[in-house]
């Protein structure tokens, strides 16, 4: 850091507005670290700060001129962490940093494992489990134990000393304090005994080395999870087209999207992705907005209608005028919503860290009192030291460190076998508390693609003849509705005749000759406009059910109607009933028409639904439910669901969904069923139950053992055995999660 003061972090802000500074933080290891740093930053005059452990970011809001970048970084560094301005870190640098962290964690773990393995191999002999049944403590020579344990303790374990010092300097106590304290006492006691050649006393090098190795394994898993924190935003950014087409002197030329400004005219050819938000000036077409709205049916566009970046044009040329470019597009807004939701502070409480803050000073005090009392009472320094060490060894944090990660590891493994990919442990911690599940309709409750649901012939026509005539005319079109009609005809084994003189009317319908007959089909209003009388009795009930209608006329006479809709998944109703039976209310959010939403809700037993909901509104709906005191989860499969997925406390992505939904979600359901959400909640409850049991096992030995050790009734050997048993109890209890099976 230079001596020169930096300018205010956000000088562009007006005097009446708060400035904002975002810092990338390094060195945080647990929730206690982020909490302590947040307190330090909030002590700065005029600063309101939040620190997010998952994203390793600190967001500071302050009055203009009240804070400089150097002052903020200095405060972070005084708390024992590193800081840099987040705005200066490009995404490629962030990915490179995450990769480097992963490589370091992996290398340190394998080195620690290699050094600890010989020490771990002698542990069965310490309990008389070696062949012959004799208890042996020096199966590995003490000088070799010292050589193996020293680099683990002071090189690979150096991070715990740094973290413990920073925590204590900041007035708190985290897991690093427990690790540093427990391993140091075991190591230094063993070192003294070894250097003093006291073969009548035992050493505990294997305890200190194995604790550090196991915790390094947890750090390795943590680094792996952090490497995916930016994947959702990367997937969204990849949707933005790089080039746009404009007309110059009557010739279409490609220009970078950045060259467009509001008011610029751009051209969309059939199949083109829309480069920026705009308004149609000329032409009629149907745009596939599924990548943005999640709805499978294309949306008809005509002059005056809006088009959005990243959606795909259909089969007709459009001339559009740019209205939103760069950060002003709807897609950019969605990206900001996801980033904001992911950067917000989750209300997660880490029980182990909270207990550690009280547990560590209490144990140190008890050990100190034990040493002083025994030395004054007996006058025997060695006896006093042994009893004090016994207190510290019985308080070794090995079981406490294993309590949560072992249950999480087994739980997530079982989830993977059941088709649930859990992105982080926080999701399992929160899923059990959900009271409301918000679900997207298309691709989540329904199958996600249009299909023929009804064929209503009239005037002597049959289902087969009506479907065959319509499919013959539609087979030359790539429109999703046309594909659904053709697929239905093929599924019934119908033969499709050849067509001639086929003419498509963009966004309305199609006509042509099928055999020796002139066939016309499309929306009922299109046929009426062509002078065809369409039966209201046939179409009205289907339209009321929210289905898309394809009316068919042959030689100018109406012959029937075909209804197309996105079908409800076969098990959605049962999954909704299961969720509600388990105390989780289901709320459906969809951008579709209210009639369609109501029909789907009635079929699935969903009592509450909201239709016509835009992407930003879905996130707002989730936040509204949370503001009402509900614990809200979100299940979806489309890009339009990404902001709501990020805003929810726990998010679920249906496996067939867009990549961004999968990356933004906490839990990905490989199978396309809402039963996966119910399974995930069940697994969360089972896992959290094991974590609570593990914490009980981890501390019951302390509650019973510390008083006995303080009274001189436990020597360090028995204390070490008790802590080893606590670890075995924790791991064995976690393995019982393998009995969990998904329900139906």
Q: Residue 349: which domain range?
A: 115-127+137-233+339-407+690-739
Last residue of a domain, one of 328, 354, 376: 328
- Mean of the per-residue pLDDT values of the chain: 78
Same domain, 27 and 146: no
Of 305, 328, 351, the position where a domain reaches its end is 328
Does residue 540 lie in a domain region? yes
Q: Are residues 255 and 189 in the same domain?
A: no
Residues 458 and 556 in one domain: yes
Is residue 304, in this structure, part of any structural domain at all?
Answer: yes
Same domain, residue pair 651 and 609? yes
Domain identity same for 597 and 679: yes
Beta bridge partners of 457: 560
**CATH number of the domain encompassing residue 557:** 3.40.1110.10
Same domain, 586 and 558: no
Separation CA 256–CA 244 (nearest Å) = 6
Catalytic residue IDs: 440
Query: How many domains does the chain divide into?
Result: 5
Residues of the chain with pLDDT under 50: 1-16, 89, 126-130, 132-135, 225-232, 294, 337-338, 341-349, 656-662, 717
Same domain, 472 and 509: yes
Angle at which helix 572-581 crosses helix 594-604, to 10 degrees, equals: 70
Has residue 414 been placed in a domain? no
Identify the CATH number of the domain in which residue 303 sits: 2.70.150.10
CATH code of residue 586: 3.40.50.1000
Are 79 and 28 found together in one domain? yes
Classify residue 98: in a domain, yes or no.
Answer: no
Q: Are residue 704 and residue 679 in the same domain, yes or no?
A: no
In-domain check, residue 652: yes
**Do 577 and 562 belong to one domain?**
no
Answer with the one of 545, 568, 591 that is the final residue of a domain: 568
Specify the pLDDT at position 225: 40
pLDDT the model gives residue 229: 38
List of long-range contacts for 593-600, beta carbons under 8 Å, 24+ apart: 593/546, 594/546, 595/543, 595/544, 595/545, 595/546, 596/441, 596/545, 596/546, 596/547, 596/565, 597/441, 597/546, 598/546, 599/545, 599/546, 599/547, 600/441, 600/445, 600/446, 600/546, 600/568
CA atoms within 13 A on the CB side of 167: 30
User: HEC states along 565-593?
Assistant: EEEECCCHHHHHHHHHHCCCEEEEECCCC
Which tens digits make up the pLDDT trace of 219-236?
A: 675 555 444 434 445 555
Q: Is residue 623 assigned to a domain?
A: yes
Same domain, 370 and 519: no
- pTM for this one? 0.56
CATH of residue 27's domain is 3.30.70.100
In sequence order, which residues have a C-beta less than 8 Å from that of residue 365 and are 6 or more positions away? none
The pLDDT assigned to 296 comes to 60
- Is there a single domain that holds both residue 674 and residue 581? yes
Does some domain include residue 110?
no
Cα–Cα distance measured from residue 464 to residue 486, given in angstroms and rounded to the nearest whole number: 12
248 is a domain residue: yes
């Amino acid at each position: 850091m230079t001596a020169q003061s930096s300018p205010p972090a956000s000088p562009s802000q007006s005097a009446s507005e708060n400035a904002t500074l975002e810092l990338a933080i390094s060195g945080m290891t647990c929730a206690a670290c982020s909490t302590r740093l947040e307190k330090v930053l909030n002590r700065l005059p005029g600063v309101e700060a939040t620190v997010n452990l998952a994203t390793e970011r600190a967001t500071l809001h302050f009055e203009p001129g009240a804070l400089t970048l150097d002052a903020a970084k200095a405060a972070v560094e005084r708390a024992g962490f590193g800081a840099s301005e987040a705005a200066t870190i490009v995404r490629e640098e962030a990915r490179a940093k995450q990769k480097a962290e992963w490589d370091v964690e992996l290398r340190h773990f394998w080195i620690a494992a290699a050094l600890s393995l010989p020490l771990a191999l002698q542990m069965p002999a310490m309990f008389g489990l070696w062949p012959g049944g004799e208890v042996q403590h020096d199966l590995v020579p003490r000088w070799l134990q010292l050589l193996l344990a020293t680099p683990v303790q002071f090189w690979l374990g150096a991070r715990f000393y740094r973290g413990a010092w920073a925590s204590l300097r900041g007035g708190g106590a985290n897991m690093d304090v427990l690790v540093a304290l427990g391993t140091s006492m075991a190591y230094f006691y063993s070192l003294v005994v070894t250097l003093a050649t006291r073969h009548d006393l035992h050493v505990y090098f294997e305890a200190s080395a194995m604790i550090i190795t196991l915790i390094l394994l947890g750090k390795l898993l943590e680094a792996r999870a952090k490497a995916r924190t930016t994947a959702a935003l990367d997937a969204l950014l990849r949707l933005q087209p790089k080039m746009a087409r404009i007309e110059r002197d009557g010739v279409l030329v490609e220009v970078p999207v950045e060259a467009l400004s509001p008011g610029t005219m751009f051209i969309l050819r059939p199949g083109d992705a829309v480069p920026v938000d705009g308004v149609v000036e000329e032409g009629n077409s149907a745009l596939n907005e599924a990548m943005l709205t999640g709805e499978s049916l294309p949306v008809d566009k005509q002059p005056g209608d809006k088009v959005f970046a990243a959606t795909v044009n259909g089969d007709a040329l459009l001339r559009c005028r740019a209205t939103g470019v760069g950060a002003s597009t709807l897609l950019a807004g969605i990206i900001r919503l996801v980033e904001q939701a992911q950067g917000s502070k989750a209300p997660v409480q880490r029980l182990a860290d909270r207990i550690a803050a009280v547990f560590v000073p209490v144990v140190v005090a008890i050990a100190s009192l034990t040493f002083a009392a025994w030395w004054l009472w007996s006058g025997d320094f060695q006896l006093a030291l042994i009893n004090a060490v016994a207190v510290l060894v019985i308080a070794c944090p090995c079981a406490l460190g294993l309590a949560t990660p072992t249950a999480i590891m087994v739980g997530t493994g079982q989830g993977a076998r059941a088709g649930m990919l859990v992105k982080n442990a926080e999701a399992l911690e929160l899923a059990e508390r959900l009271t409301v599940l918000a679900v997207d309709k298309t691709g989540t409750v329904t199958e996600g693609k249009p299909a023929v649901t009804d064929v209503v012939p009239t005037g002597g026509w049959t289902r087969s003849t009506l479907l065959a005539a319509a499919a013959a005319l539609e087979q030359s079109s790539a429109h999703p509705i046309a594909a659904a009609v053709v697929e239905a005809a093929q599924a019934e084994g119908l033969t499709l005749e050849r067509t001639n003189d086929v003419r498509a009317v963009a966004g309305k319908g199609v006509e042509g000759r099928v055999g020796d007959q002139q066939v016309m089909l499309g929306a009922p209003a299109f046929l009426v406009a062509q002078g065809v009388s369409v039966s209201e009795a046939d179409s009205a009930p289907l339209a009321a059910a929210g289905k898309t209608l394809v009316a068919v006329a042959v030689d100018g006479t109406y012959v029937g109607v075909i209804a197309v809709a996105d079908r409800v998944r076969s098990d959605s109703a049962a999954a909704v009933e299961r969720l509600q039976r388990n105390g989780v209310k289901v709320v459906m959010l969809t951008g579709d028409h209210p009639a369609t939403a109501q029909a789907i809700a009635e079929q699935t037993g969903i009592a509450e639904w909201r239709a016509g909901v835009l992407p930003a509104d879905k996130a707002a709906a989730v936040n509204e439910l949370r503001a009402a005191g509900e614990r809200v989860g979100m299940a979806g499969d489309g890009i339009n669901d990404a902001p709501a997925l990020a805003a929810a406390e726990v998010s679920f992505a249906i496996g067939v969904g867009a990549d961004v939904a999968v990356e933004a979600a906490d839990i990905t359901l490989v199978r396309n069923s809402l039963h996966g959400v119910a399974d995930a909640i069940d697994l969360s409850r089972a896992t959290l139950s094991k974590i609570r049991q593990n914490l009980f096992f981890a501390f019951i030995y302390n509650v019973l053992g510390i008083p006995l050790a303080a009274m001189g009734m436990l020597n360090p050997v028995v204390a070490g055995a008790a802590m080893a048993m606590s670890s075995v109890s924790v791991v064995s209890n976690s393995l019982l999660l393998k009995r969990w099976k998904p329900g139906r």
